Amino acid sequence: MSGGSVVRAGLARLGSLRVGILVTALGAGIGAAHAAPPDFSGVWFVVHPPHALTTVEGTTPPLTPDARVIYEQHLAAAARGDRSFDGMTRCLPPGLPRLMLVNEPFEILQHPKVIYFIFQLNRLPRRAYVDEQLPTDPDPLWLGYSVAHWDGDALVIDSTGFNDLTLLDDAGLPHSESLRLTERYELSGDGKHMHALFTIDDPKSYTRPWTVKAEYVKRPGYEIPEEFCMDKLRNKRRAGNP
Amino acid sequence: MSGCNSSHGIRCRGLGVSVAVGVLAAAAASAFGADQQAPPATQTSTGPQAPATQSPGPAPRGAPGAASRPFRPRTLFNSGDPTLALTPPLLGGRAAPPGSAPPNPDPRDFEGVWWLQGYEYLLGPAPGIPPPLKPKYMKLLEERIRAKNRGTPEADTETQCLSHGMPRLMESPYPIEIVQTPERITILHEVAHEVRRIWLNRPHPKHPRITFLGDSVGHWEGDTLVVDTIALDDRPFIDDEGSSHSTKLHLVERYTKIDGGAKLQLIMTVEDPVTLEHPYSYQRIYMWRPDVRPQEYICEENNRNAPVNGITVAK
């Protein structure tokens, strides 16, 4: 893809993206013309799987009043031991960014045109198409629709097209179908760690975009075992657990 | 996309044939009219691959597909017994529409999206022929076919949002995406987002864990990828109709690109000393489909077919 077409792609996004993200997209066009991107391939474990997300500033996420009502219902239910609000208890996909933050590893297969994520959790796959544009009217999906670009050595993934049936975290932070997610991944100098920023932009649920950070560690030689959530659930029920 | 449990003919990727029990004839009739220009739905298990004539128009995503040959109701052993009626095959994938990216001619590069041509519900040595099951397991297959035709099919693993198992997974009428890395061939299936990992140039572990998709190792013989799979969980069936296998099931798959990369040929050899009288093989063809992207497929979203006492009851 030429720099010009990346610029056009960036401009085409202006209608739906904030200016800051546009600048990132333009920057990617310049970066992409340079050396080969770093290799993110491998199996990654999140270092501190969060229960409740907090912003990089250390504050609680800026919920809108309507979203706060839903969140507090979830907190109250969880306090009663009722987690039926959480589709993960029925083996439904966790959605994003939660899937990137659960306590199970994932594998990245880095292809020039597609970044593949294969999760141990219920063998879920995720694809981010490189240097493509997001669809303008996507069908809502559990894992949305993702496109990737390189911003220098950083891998940036923009996603949209999420359904509103998932939560942002274990605690029960809600989101709407308006969710736009921007992920930024950078490798440490030795390539053994990966730092991530997740920016959540969902004006129906949050008063402003906010960002969460996470760190991952690479586990060379780890082979992701086969995992079927329904099988685990059945074994758990057989063992007498709810 | 939500779950598509074939037992109930929920429309899945528009493959069309709703195989609701009791309306087999109607379903087959509607499917029959779907695409007269389509290639034969099935390949013969032996002999060279005949060049297929493809539909000139783009394959409409979501168009019904079915066997193009005149419809003859198939029954187990050609018995004519309606209680042993087999589910009619589907067309499955077709050639990519004109203007699609040309096939990659590198015979050892399988990367990309492929789509099975044809879709057989019974995976024996030839279409409509059951696997060479030992009498006990042939009787079980008959019972499962009769239960299906009564409207109370046995709830198989796929219906329960567990794995399709093997070799059945490779018979899925959904696209598959192959990703090739130096040590591994990874197959990402659209159906129930199943993932197969084929480890290259290494032996099976001495004590492999029994899993739904088993332990798969592969190597190249010329331009043919040979995949050996063992340690398969015995809960899934060999095929949709319900042919049993044991954990002693041993599969050898031989994949070769043909027609300049427009097709991927599979010769599958099935061996199971517990349930089969003798090993057997069959051939399948996957079409190069650069125009297709695998879609999201979440079985658990539509998990209405949970079994009661082993029988599927929900509609």
* Cβ of residue A92 closer than 8 Å to a chain B Cβ: yes
Backbone angles phi, psi at A52, to 5 degrees: -125, 130
B128: left (phi over 0), alpha (psi -120 to 50) or beta: left
Of the candidates A41, A93, A226, the beta carbon closest to that of B211 is on A226
Which chain B residue shows the shortest CA-CA distance from A231?
A: B162
Residues B184-204: tens digit of each pLDDT: 999 999 999 999 999 999 999
Confidence of residue B1 (pLDDT cuts 50, 70, 90): very low
Residues of chain B with Cβ-Cβ distance to A41 below 8 Å are 181
Most B-contacting residue of A228, A229, A234 (CB-CB within 10 A), to test interface: A228
Is the pLDDT assigned to residue B298 strictly greater than 90?
A: yes
Confidence of residue B260 (pLDDT cuts 50, 70, 90): very high
Tell me if A116 and B162 make a contact (CB, 8 A cut-off).
Answer: no
* Cβ of residue A232 closer than 8 Å to a chain B Cβ: no
Is the pLDDT assigned to residue B11 strictly greater than 50?
A: no
Of the candidates A41, A91, A118, the beta carbon closest to that of B195 is on A118
Mean of pLDDT over chain A: 88
Residues B48-91: tens digit of each pLDDT: 333 333 333 333 333 344 445 555 679 999 999 999 999 988 87
Q: Is B28 helix (H, G, I), strand (E, B) or coil?
A: helix
Most B-contacting residue of A120, A165, A226 (CB-CB within 10 A), to test interface: A226
Average pLDDT over residues B278-300: 96
Q: Is B191 helix (H, G, I), strand (E, B) or coil?
A: helix
ipTM of the complex: 0.85
Q: Which parts of chain A are beta strand (E)?
A: 42-46, 106-110, 114-119, 125-130, 145-151, 154-160, 180-187, 193-201, 210-218
Residues A181-192: tens digit of each pLDDT: 999 999 999 999
Tell me if B300 and A230 make a contact (CB, 8 A cut-off).
Answer: yes
Q: Please say whether the beta carbons of A202 and A178 come within 8 A.
A: yes
Average pLDDT over residues B11-26: 36
- Distance from B208 to chain A by nearest Cα, in Å? 11
* Cβ of residue A233 closer than 8 Å to a chain B Cβ: no
The region of weakest confidence among A177-191, A228-242, B116-130 is A228-242
- Distance from A85 to chain B by nearest Cα, in Å? 14
Is the pLDDT assigned to residue A238 strictly greater than 50?
A: yes
Is the pLDDT assigned to residue A203 strictly greater than 50?
A: yes
Residues of chain A with Cβ-Cβ distance to B300 below 8 Å are 90-93, 229-230
Residues B166-187: tens digit of each pLDDT: 999 999 999 999 999 999 999 9
The CATH number covering residue A104 comes to 2.40.128.20
Backbone angles phi, psi at B217, to 5 degrees: -125, 150
Domain range for A230: 3-238
Q: Please say whether the beta carbons of A211 and A197 come within 8 A.
A: yes
CB pairs under 8 A between A and B: 54
Q: Which domains does chain B have, with CATH numbers?
A: 6-312 (2.40.128.20)
Residues of chain A with Cβ-Cβ distance to B163 below 8 Å are 228
* Cβ of residue A192 closer than 8 Å to a chain B Cβ: no
Q: Which of B237, B250, B255, B253 is nearest to B278 (CA)?
A: B250
Is the pLDDT assigned to residue A3 strictly greater than 80?
A: no
Burial class for A19, CB neighbours closer than 10 Å (0-12, 13-18, 19+): exposed
* Residue B54 pLDDT: 34
| Interacting residues of A235 by C-beta distance below 8 A, sequence separation 6+ | none
Confidence of residue B246 (pLDDT cuts 50, 70, 90): very high
Domain count, chain A: 1
| Interacting residues of A57 by C-beta distance below 8 A, sequence separation 6+ | none
* Residue B65 pLDDT: 46
**CA distances in angstroms from B13 to A67, A142, A146, B33, B177, listed in the order given:** 34, 17, 21, 18, 16
Backbone angles phi, psi at B169, to 5 degrees: -60, -35
Tell me if B301 and A92 make a contact (CB, 8 A cut-off).
Answer: yes
Tell me if A228 and B162 make a contact (CB, 8 A cut-off).
Answer: yes
* Residue B309 pLDDT: 59
CA triplet B308, B309, B311: central angle to 5 degrees?
65
Tell me if A143 and B212 make a contact (CB, 8 A cut-off).
Answer: no
Confidence of residue A88 (pLDDT cuts 50, 70, 90): very high
Q: Please say whether the beta carbons of A100 and A53 come within 8 A.
A: no
Is the pLDDT assigned to residue B119 strictly greater than 50?
A: yes
Average pLDDT over residues B224-253: 98
Residues on chain B bordering chain A, Cβ-to-Cβ distance under 8 angstroms? 111, 160-163, 179, 181, 186, 188, 193-195, 197, 209, 211-213, 293-294, 296, 298, 300-301, 303
| Interacting residues of B208 by C-beta distance below 8 A, sequence separation 6+ | B214, B215, B230, B231
- Distance from A145 to chain B by nearest Cα, in Å? 10
Q: Which of B266, B217, B214, B220 is nearest to B245 (CA)?
A: B214
Average pLDDT over residues B194-220: 98
Average pLDDT over residues B294-311: 76
Tell me if A141 and B162 make a contact (CB, 8 A cut-off).
Answer: no
Q: How many whole angstroms separate alpha carbon A193 and alpha carbon A174? A: 29
